[in-house]
Structure 1
Amino acid sequence: MSGNVTVGLIRSLIDTMQGPIADVDSWDSLAMILEFPDGEFNEARGYLYSPDGVISAVASDPWAVRSAVKAYTDSYYQSGEALPRKVLVQFDRRAREYNIAFEETDETRWKVTPQNFRELREELRPTFD
């Protein structure tokens, strides 16, 4: 896989993310979940982690990031192959490290509910050792 498609994906998510109370300028790290229900990309949402400890919900416009997501998935999956259910993109901009994890079968993985949203946002927080 080319590093350029990974950089393009992360850059696209960052450039288009918005949230009602998100500090889109001074955050340290982010975790974004890309969703592919029925084999089609349709959502990019997640969290920004700020240095002051604030965690903000954010989303990226799926239409704006669609081409970057397609370029990324095309670098992993061949034409006609089933796409993953979800992709988790974690990025720490201070350390300049990232991790991308695929969920191939479990539609409920990384699903936010009123009961789990606090623990899930901690589970998704990027940590690189």
Structure 2
Amino acid sequence: MNIDAKYINSIGMILTGCDSILEHPDWSSFAVVFDINEGHMASSGFIYVNDKIIPASASFANLGDKKALSNKIREFQQAVFEACGHKFVQLLIQMNSAGKIHIDFEFDNPKRWNMGPANYRAMREQLRPAFD
């Protein structure tokens, strides 16, 4: 799949300004899962600060355009659809403080990266970015 990196870079830049990241300036990496359907988008994930793991979401209290991130993700979803004929229902974005970004898509299972009491601890580690 050949997708313009501008989408990934823009999403990464916007995410580094989210409230959770700004509250933890010593973050080493983060992982955020976006659940996307036609009328709604939600996010959940974790910030990794040394040995600490902090629950996080992609929320913005001080962003002028509160829909900038969701609009960019929807543009990205459309670009992926045009490239491969499928829309993703979940998007995983992992990033480290050096600016490396990894993304993964889920096209079929809208619960692949869902978190709840039964799998919360496992998901914290499963989503932890591992950049080599």
Q: TM-score, normalised by structure 1?
A: 0.82
Give me the whole-angstrom Cα distance separating, in 1, the residues matched to 2:116 and 2:109. 16
Q: Which amino acid aligns with 1:49?
A: Y
- Residue 86, structure 1, aligned to residue 58, structure 2: no
Give me the whole-angstrom Cα distance separating, in 2, the residues matched to 1:108 and 1:14. 25
Give me the whole-angstrom Cα distance separating, in 2, the residues matched to 1:9 and 1:123. 22
Q: Which amino acid aligns with 2:5?
A: G
Q: Which amino acid aligns with 1:36?
A: I
- Total equivalences in the alignment: 123
1:41 Cα deviation after fit? 4.8
Give me the whole-angstrom Cα distance separating, in 1, the residues matched to 2:19 and 2:56. 6
Give me the whole-angstrom Cα distance separating, in 1, the residues matched to 2:19 and 2:104. 20
2:63 — aligned with what? none
8 A contact 1:36–1:83 mirrored in 2: no
1:93 Cα deviation after fit? 1.8
Q: Which amino acid aligns with 2:57?
A: A
2:45 — aligned with what? 46
Q: TM-score, normalised by structure 2?
A: 0.80
2:33 — aligned with what? 33
In structure 2, runs of 5+ residues without a counterpart are 60-65
8 A contact 2:7–2:72 mirrored in 1: yes
1:15 pairs with 10, 14, 17, which one?
17
Give me the whole-angstrom Cα distance separating, in 2, the residues matched to 1:73 and 1:41. 14
Give me the whole-angstrom Cα distance separating, in 2, the residues matched to 1:88 and 1:15. 17
Secondary structure at the aligned position of 1:60 is classed as coil
- Residue 117, structure 1, aligned to residue 102, structure 2: no
8 A contact 2:80–2:86 mirrored in 1: no
Secondary structure at the aligned position of 1:77 is classed as helix
8 A contact 2:80–2:87 mirrored in 1: no
Matches within 5 A, 1:57-96: 57-61=55-59, 63-78=67-82, 82-94=86-98, 96=99
1:127 pairs with 109, 126, 130, which one?
130
